[in-house]
Amino acid sequence: MQRLEETYRRSLEEPEAFWAEAAGAIEWDEPWQRVLDDSRAPFYRWFAGGRMNTCHNALDRHVEGGRADQPALIYDSPVTDAVATFTYLELRDAVARFAGALAAQGVEHGDRVIVYMPMVPEAVIAMLACARLGAIHSVVFGGFAANELATRIEDAKPKVIVSASCGIEPGRLVEYKPLLDAAIDAVASKPQRCIVLQRPMLQAELDPQRDVEWNDALAGVEPAACVSLDATDPLYIIYTSGTTGQPKGILRDNGGHAVALAWSMKNIYDVDPGEVYWAASDIGWTVGHSYTVYGPLLHGCTTVLYEGKPVGTPDAGAYWRVIEQHRVCTLFTAPTAFRAIRQQDPEGRQIERYDLSRLRALFLAGERCDPDTLKWAEEQLRVPVVDHYWQTETGWPVVANCIGLERLPVVPGSPTKPVPGWDLRVVDDEGTERPAGEIGPLVVKLPLPPGSSPTLWNADVRFHETYLSRFPGYYQTADAGYVDENGYVFVMARTDDIINVAGHRLSTGAIEEVLAAHPDVAECAVIGVADALKGQIPIGLLVLKAGVERAHDEIGDEAVRLVRERIGPVAVFKKAIVVERLPKTRSGKILRGTMRRIADGDEYTTPATIDDPAILDEIAVALERAGYSRPISRA
């Protein structure tokens, strides 16, 4: 453990020397004047005065350095039965041409470009083309509702929007153009141009005054060179849902972002240049930005862009087919993907059909990984399974088993220890550090390391109020957890999901761990519902494994007994309800807060990120039958 401990110690005690050394992995046009600029604390900036270009570091330098013929991007689309490979040279040339197309439409340094596309190579090309010009891209998940897209257009004020005629979900096409048109109609700040990729399965109707087809936009343009940028210039804006209903534009800079991601590829993920790395995330989410697009390319890896699902395209063996076919060494996905695979194939029969000998590690993030899911993945894949923790705001992992530095023993339920650069603490409501084993808000001592968000887009005050004001000198994660006596971190729940049962603070995550251990349960969620006597009481919602035909009431009673045995009567856990499915965001996070509001009869808004809004009605019916749901007021 000496190598990890020494690296972590140095990163906190000598942060400027540490990150200056890490910055050697990036090519700079001009050296920085200050590694850490604290002149506007708590708004810290990294590599102030330095100049570089992220696209050059992701593509051009690899072409020039001997990787021109190495695959950079593998596009795998089971929904269209297509596979395509781009070498570093081919991808560089495609990006340079599209950057020229954007420039021909007037896009230049500092302009915003919204990318509203499915998981196709053109989406990655558009992102990197923006980075090449110094334009700021904002990727919005393809198929987002028009009103949600409109709020992002109004906030970012893009000069150009890049879109496609449609996205493809199992069994259906999602028309993007009507959603895009409705969003533009609803905003005052309209884009000057929309560039639309016409996919062969659906041709969209274009507005001749505003819209241009992708190939037409490329016609006759000159490839654009990389623009030299300040390290502190924005690279992208990624929006997350805000509690006020106004989305938060998380900002990412160029220099610190490139340094942090390049450092993480070897030290956290233990991947070498030239290897095939696959982050199975949509590019609309932060994982897709960091580890489908930028991280692997900055490190000289081959990255996989997957247009499909973990199950249903065509079956629960979809991931294993990709790993075998493309010789993937490391997979990064969400725990919910593995729960879906396990629910459909609990015995792992599909895994036996494929050669996974090149797979060295599985990384999971996005929400808590329950020990039972982790154990199942370890048993089935026989490789290290690394649960790690981070957020859209942080941009890269905060807590992880840094297997490239030193592989630590896995402790189920823990994403292991803080990553170098991240000074993670557990505090009480007054900001006083809590002793080992005691649960409380998780915070990070400022300054945050490179790669984290320096602020929100055009909203410094909101950034401070949201993240920095509650615990001065710290970044508030809005998650709760504890650190054990060995330094292992346990992220138990969002702070909103810590429930107060007759004065006892309980983590819904701890109860979920018990429920997930039931042999018939594929996945579960625990919510705290209002109770006149206790304040709140927890109830469980269970999704069963495929093929389970036992009586639901019997399974529910067994689950209740498990909780009472392992946590005790203090939990006042009396009800576990079997449901067909749980409401989730498209990135796989379970919407516990929305279910809690349904159970309490509080007004709620159907989240824009929900995978299927009809699930909320199913949950409402299940809660009502169990006696917990009250009259619902849907905003």
Strand 71-77 to strand 82-87: parallel, antiparallel, or no bridges (unpaired)?
antiparallel
Predicted confidence at residue 146, as pLDDT, reads 86
Query: Greater confidence, 37 or 569?
Result: 37
The rounded percent of the chain whose pLDDT value lies above 70 is: 95
pLDDT band at 531 (very low <50, low <70, confident <90, very high): confident
The answer on pLDDT for 523 being more than 60 is yes
DSSP 563-587: HHHHT-GGG----EEE-S---BBTT
Q: Could you tell me the pTM of the whole model?
A: 0.85
- As a whole number, mean pLDDT of residues 218-247 equals 88
Tokens standing for residue 445: 């001592």
Distance from the Cα of residue 369 to its chain's centroid: 14
The answer on pLDDT for 432 being more than 60 is yes
Neighbours of 172 (CB within 10 A): 9
- For 162, list phi and psi in degrees, rounded to 5: -105, 125
The rounded percent of the chain whose pLDDT value lies above 90 is: 75
Provide the residue count of the chain: 635
The answer on pLDDT for 1 being more than 60 is no
C-alpha 625/C-alpha 631 separation (Å) is 13
- For 164, list phi and psi in degrees, rounded to 5: -140, 165
Q: Tell me where in the chain the CATH 3.40.50.12780 domain(s) lie.
A: 2-308+388-481
The dihedral built from the CA positions of residue 181, 187, 193 and 194, taken in this order, carries a sign that is negative
Closest Cα to residue 60, out of 126, 116, 108, 129? 129
Question: 251, exposed or middle or buried, with CB in 10 Å at 0-12, 13-18, 19+?
Answer: buried
pLDDT band at 635 (very low <50, low <70, confident <90, very high): very low
* pLDDT digits 0-9 by tens, 379-392: 999 999 999 999 99
Query: Greater confidence, 480 or 475?
Result: 475
* pLDDT digits 0-9 by tens, 303-349: 999 999 999 999 999 999 999 999 999 999 988 899 889 999 999 99
* pLDDT digits 0-9 by tens, 106-150: 999 999 999 999 999 999 999 999 999 999 999 998 888 888 899
CATH class of the domain defined by 502-625: alpha beta
Local structure of 522: helix, strand or coil: strand
**C-alpha distances out from residue 121 to 31, 86, 309, 330, Å:** 33, 9, 17, 21
* pLDDT digits 0-9 by tens, 141-187: 888 888 889 999 999 999 999 999 999 988 889 999 999 999 999 99
Give me the chain's average pLDDT, please: 92
Task: Describe the chain by its helix, strand, coil percentages, rounded to 5.
Answer: 35, 25, 40
Sequence-ordered list of residues with C-beta below 8 angstroms from that of 328, at least 6 positions apart, any chain: 276, 277, 278, 304, 322, 358, 359
The answer on pLDDT for 485 being more than 60 is yes
The answer on pLDDT for 630 being more than 80 is no
- As a whole number, mean pLDDT of residues 508-517 equals 84
What is the Cα gyration radius of the chain?
24
Q: Tell me where in the chain the CATH 3.30.300.30 domain(s) lie.
A: 502-625
Sequence-ordered list of residues with C-beta below 8 angstroms from that of 73, at least 6 positions apart, any chain: 85, 86, 91, 121, 124, 302, 303, 305
* pLDDT digits 0-9 by tens, 327-338: 999 999 988 899
Predicted confidence at residue 601, as pLDDT, reads 84
Sequence-ordered list of residues with C-beta below 8 angstroms from that of 220, at least 6 positions apart, any chain: none
209, 28 contact by CB (below 8 A): no
Predicted confidence at residue 497, as pLDDT, reads 60
Predicted confidence at residue 585, as pLDDT, reads 79
The answer on pLDDT for 478 being more than 50 is yes
Query: Greater confidence, 535 or 378?
Result: 378
Predicted confidence at residue 170, as pLDDT, reads 84
Sequence-ordered list of residues with C-beta below 8 angstroms from that of 396, at least 6 positions apart, any chain: 260, 261, 264, 268, 290, 295, 390, 419, 451, 452
C-alpha 361/C-alpha 275 separation (Å) is 13
Tokens standing for residue 161: 């929007």
Closest Cα to residue 330, out of 405, 407, 272? 272
Closest Cα to residue 450, out of 4, 52, 3, 2? 52
The answer on pLDDT for 633 being more than 70 is no
Question: 551, exposed or middle or buried, with CB in 10 Å at 0-12, 13-18, 19+?
Answer: exposed
Element (H, E) at 344: helix 335-344
CATH topology classification for 2-308+388-481: Rossmann fold (3.40.50)
Neighbours of 84 (CB within 10 A): 13
Predicted confidence at residue 175, as pLDDT, reads 95
* pLDDT digits 0-9 by tens, 51-90: 999 999 999 999 999 999 999 999 999 999 999 999 999 9
Closest Cα to residue 120, out of 201, 43, 235? 201
